Structure 1
Amino acid sequence: MLVLVLALLVVLTLLATAVAVAGRQAVAEAQLEVDRLDGELDMVSTRDTLLYMLSVQFRTLGGLTVDDSKIPAIERMRNDADDEGESVVPVGNEIRLDSTPYAGLGNARFSIQDDRGLLSPNWAGQLLMQRFYTSMGSPAQDWGPLEAKRLDYQDADDLHRLGGAEKDDYRKAGLPPPSNRAFASPLELRRVLGWNGLLAPLTDEQLLRRLTTARSVEINVNSAPHEVLALLPGLDDDHAARLVDLRRQAPFMSTWQVEQLVPIDPAVSDGLLTLFPNLSGSLTLWDARLGTRRLVHWTLTPYLEGSPPWRIDYEVTLPRGNPSDQPVAAAPATPLLTPPDASGDPGWPAAAGR
């Protein structure tokens, strides 16, 4: 009888343990789903807030201004700004447009990359494209065919350029036919014969950090990442790193200033360099705690009557990587990116974030 009682107690203990473990697991899974939902709401709110700011706030050489707290500077900008809402002299409260990470609403983190800081294969000059091909290890004899295949992929006819490729060539290679339209995103370059091999060493994140499909001939030295600055004629990795370090202290105010710092020929830089952002760019969002990252490409549309002030061109999900290794700046000094406190009063950024 005693043995039976002991056996029953063991069984009951095991059952109780199993129930407790299952309960803890269920609670943990439920909490994870709550965290995911909260993170998604934070990212959506941060995205919409930033798109609103991009459509209404002034942009300077330093980036996107965040509020009207510096009244004299903002008033000066209203007088000096051009039709695209751009002024020259930074006011000191800008969100940088060079992929610098910032804290958004709640647990959301974000960075903004100006399209003029990236290389546009459809619009960049021959010199820049040759530098890009060289950086990817492509021999000079392949440059012409790469250009021809890129153009054949997008044009509406089935006529072959010299060294190009049309739908018959894609069928023979077992690839989908060319779209016969402009690229929807830089990732579509992977579908172009020749380019699929050229870009194979790059991850999607690395590709999107270098290339854009926006109409951009010039390179913005105030927003271009290291990898793109190194493509400028006469520059190498060390020169690019120096420019990035210097602009963190203060944005460049003239192309002459850049020409004095690095060995770029003024004759080459004329028409190749700019200091102002484009009307389009990429917004990358992620949850500080979990999940993947999301890249949203936006274009401002201030001149389209009867339409929203911006459009979303495409979205890409990227691996999380290890964003904890990257320093994140404080939340920009604007009440738009500060959640209300428990009392219902709108929060204000801490002094350190100003």
Structure 2
Amino acid sequence: MKASDSSSLKKHAASTRQGFALPAVLTVTGVVTLIFLVAITALSSLTAEAASARARVRFLQNALTAEANLTLLAVTEPIRSSAIAIGAPRIVDLFSGAEGNASNLEQGFIQLDGRPYAFDLSGKMIVQVQDQAGLINLASLSEEQHKRLMQAVGVEDAEIPRLRARYLDYVDPDNLRRVDGAEQRDYSDMSAANRPLKTPNEWLSVLGARNSVDADKWRKLSPHLASDHTLLNANLNTSTKEAMEILFGLDEKQSEAAINARSKLMFNSFTDFAAATGARYVPDDEVSYVFPSGRMIFTIKDTRSAWTYRGRVILTPGGLEQPFWIDQTELKEAPRRAAADTSDATQFPYAPR
């Protein structure tokens, strides 16, 4: 082989290697860049999850502190028809009106009608307290009240009797099916409870209920629902507007009239309520309409995150070893991850230091 041919081959080989070097470098660079992007995305996701976890822990710690403060006041301070009366004298004799000593706390009221209170604890929180007797108790609804409830959450009129029968079959202890009802054998997973509802949202577990309601209407009404088969009374002095409309058949104008009237002078009887609103509801002689239930549902929200904590305090004055219970607690994020609004909140009247 001539020297010129050998030189030509070397140049050709060199040019061939140089031609393939750039795509290879670009490929390697692309793979390395992709690895870095995946790592950065994963790190960003982990950072966000860690921040969310820290916010959750911080909120829960503050919420439990607020829960403890609220429970202390509920257990140790006098409870009137519409409020916890902080610093008020304790009534010793309900019949003579004799009063005992007041606590040395600054006087104030925590109204039991669900109004928002701003609670300062490393940032503002919102605390709402609602007497359970002021809500719509699913466990004690009459047929007419149940009908109004279902209409309010968007159930079609033709479906109401069937859904009512299925609800009654769901909560009764037997396996006898009503006309248009449904017992355990009618549920694909045999999930009919045959016991009272534990929570209001369990109502949606009744066969066909979830598909019959308007989800947005249910979500809007659900804060005004309760389920407690041991509680019969309704408290007109703490009832929400929505509860009065479902329970007593009031329209919006009448329910607003009730709230305005009781803000000036609490109702002492259903007669007072009827006079202020024109309600045509016939009261049950065995039901109390103006006394607190000793069951308080509280909601605690955060202004720095979307977390919400909800639970119930049950007072048991006769239980010396267990003067109160806290149950039905749940921690969840607010719809649309919205933080609490303090614009219409009044200051929580007392917090232990």
Tell me the alpha carbon deviations over residues 247-293 of structure 1, each in whole angstroms, 9 at most, x when there is no partner. 34453343332222211137447666712221223110112222321
**Which secondary structure state, in structure 2, belongs to the residue aligned with residue 220 of structure 1?**
coil
Equivalent residue, structure 2, for 1:16: none
What letter is aligned with 1:147?
R
Aligned counterpart for 2:291 among listed residues 276, 279, 285: 276
Cα distance in 2 between the residues matched to 1:162 and 1:217? 27
**Which secondary structure state, in structure 2, belongs to the residue aligned with residue 274 of structure 1?**
coil
Q: How does 1:1-354 map to 2 (within 5 A)?
A: 37-66=57-86, 68=87, 70=88, 74-75=89-90, 77-80=91-94, 93-106=108-121, 107-138=124-155, 142-171=159-188, 177-202=191-216, 205-214=219-228, 215-265=230-280, 267-268=282-283, 274-304=289-319, 306-307=321-322, 309-319=324-334, 320-321=337-338, 323-324=340-341, 326-332=343-349, 334=350, 337-339=351-353
Calculate percent identity across the aligned residue pairs: 22
CA contact (8 A) 2:82 2:113 kept: no
What letter is aligned with 2:149?
F
CA contact (8 A) 2:170 2:192 kept: yes
Cα distance in 2 between the residues matched to 1:150 and 1:81? 42
Q: TM-score with structure 1 length normalisation? A: 0.71
CA contact (8 A) 2:136 2:247 kept: no
Cα distance in 1 between the residues matched to 2:223 and 2:249? 21
Cα distance in 1 between the residues matched to 2:74 and 2:147? 33
Tell me the alpha carbon deviations over residues 137-184 of structure 1, each in whole angstroms, 9 at most, x when there is no partner. 44555444323211222334433122211223221xxx6621233211
What letter is aligned with 1:119?
I
What letter is aligned with 1:230?
E
Distance change (3 Å), C-alpha of 1:37 and 1:121: closer
Cα distance in 2 between the residues matched to 1:65 and 1:306? 24
CA contact (8 A) 2:306 2:333 kept: no
**Which secondary structure state, in structure 1, belongs to the residue aligned with residue 246 of structure 2?**
coil
What letter is aligned with 1:195?
A
Q: TM-score with structure 2 length normalisation? A: 0.71
Unpaired segments of 5 or more residues in structure 1?
Answer: 1-25, 83-91, 340-354
Question: Aligned pairs, how many?
Answer: 297
Cα distance in 1 between the residues matched to 2:50 and 2:299? 27
Distance change (3 Å), C-alpha of 1:225 and 1:216: same
Cα distance in 1 between the residues matched to 2:70 and 2:308? 16
What letter is aligned with 2:211?
G
CA contact (8 A) 1:148 1:163 kept: yes
Structure with the higher strand share, 1 or 2: 2
Cα distance in 2 between the residues matched to 1:285 and 1:81? 37
Cα distance in 2 between the residues matched to 1:98 and 1:115? 9
**C-alpha displacement of 1:221:** 1.8
Distance change (3 Å), C-alpha of 1:81 and 1:213: farther
Cα distance in 2 between the residues matched to 1:310 and 1:166? 33
Bigger Rg, which one? 2
Tell me the alpha carbon deviations over residues 18-42 of structure 1, each in whole angstroms, 9 at most, x when there is no partner. xxxxxxxx99998887665443322
What letter is aligned with 1:161?
R
**C-alpha displacement of 1:101:** 0.8
Distance change (3 Å), C-alpha of 1:202 and 1:56: farther
Distance change (3 Å), C-alpha of 1:290 and 1:298: same
**C-alpha displacement of 1:117:** 1.0
CA contact (8 A) 2:133 2:233 kept: yes
Cα distance in 2 between the residues matched to 1:234 and 1:38? 43
Cα distance in 2 between the residues matched to 1:244 and 1:262? 10
Equivalent residue, structure 2, for 1:19: none
Unpaired segments of 5 or more residues in structure 2?
Answer: 1-45, 97-106
